Amino acid sequence: MNAATLLARPRPDGNTARILDWVEVDLHRIDHDTERIDLTELAIGGCTPCCACTDSAEAPGCVVADDAQAVFRKLIAADGIVHATPLYMWGVGAQLKALLDRSLCLVRDYGSPDHRSFVEGRRTALVLTSADPKRRTPRRSRRCSRGSPSS
Ligand SMILES: Cc1cc2nc3c(=O)[nH]c(=O)nc-3n(C[C@H](O)[C@H](O)[C@H](O)COP(=O)(O)O)c2cc1C
């Protein structure tokens, strides 16, 4: 199996990146290949939402020209997809949220009996890290990143 691992990680050496490392090591151990897609390094804007994608029957057809197009191609080519994100304000990180919103273009005839998806049948997993403010955890987000996201 070939798994695309999507990492939304404002902190390059944070909990989420670290746990995704472990997941990838385990996948390699059972003979799966992985390709990590670091969403923080890509330019992915929100859905416009023009719905131009729904005009295309055979391909995602999103007309927003940014890095999401390449990510969609990789997701379609993968057998499995792992999403990894910190819990931010009880939701997923902004980098992943933008991609998930844009993923509307992977779906056709949503909510109808003809519903189909370009990633139908892919195995998916979610790695979600969070912090309990009442307990001390080894790498609390209080240790914030300084400067640019990549620093
Ligand atoms: C802006 C921000 C919002 C957060 N919101 C939540 C939250 O709603 N619930 C929670 O349990 N933890 C929350 N946390 C804690 C993070 O989810 C947790 O520390 C996570 O492991 C950080 O991942 P990272 O080390 O990969 O950045 C928040 C942290 C930050 C910086």
**101 C-alpha to ligand 1 centroid (Å):** 21
**130 C-alpha to ligand 1 centroid (Å):** 5
- Determine whether 7 is exposed, middle or buried from the number of CB atoms within 10 Å of its CB (0-12, 13-18, 19+): buried
Say how far apart CA 116 and CA 114 lie, in whole Å.
6
Residue 137 CA: nearest ligand 1 atom is: 19
Number of helices (H), then strands (E), in the chain: 3, 7
**102 C-alpha to ligand 1 centroid (Å):** 23
pLDDT given at position 43? 98
- What is the distance, to the nearest Å, from the Cα of residue 143 to the centroid of all Cα atoms in its chain? 24
Model confidence, pTM: 0.89
Q: List the one residue out of 71, 68, 72, 61 whose CA is nearest residue 46.
A: 68
pLDDT given at position 10? 87
Two tokens at 107?
């779906």
pLDDT given at position 149? 44
**91 C-alpha to ligand 1 centroid (Å):** 10
For domain 2-129, the question of CATH label 3.40.50.360 is answered with yes
**61 C-alpha to ligand 1 centroid (Å):** 34
Two tokens at 73?
């191609």
Give exposure, 9-44, as e/b (b: 16+ Cβ within 10 Å). bbbeebbbbeebeebbeebeeeeeebeebbbbeeeb
Say how far apart CA 96 and CA 102 lie, in whole Å.
10
**116 C-alpha to ligand 1 centroid (Å):** 34
What are residue 82's DSSP bridge partners? 5, 125
Which residues surround ligand 1 with Cβ inside 6 Å? Answer: 9-11, 14-17, 86-90, 129-131, 141
Residue 130 CA: nearest ligand 1 atom is: 17
pLDDT given at position 135? 67
Q: Which residue of 7, 128, 141 sits with most ligand 1 atoms within 8 Å of its CB, as the best mutation to test the pocket? A: 141
Three-state secondary-structure class, residue 34: strand
pLDDT in tens, the chain (151 residues): 999 999 998 898 999 999 999 999 999 999 999 999 999 999 999 999 999 999 999 999 999 999 999 999 999 999 999 999 999 999 999 999 999 999 999 999 989 999 999 999 999 999 999 997 776 655 554 555 554 444 3
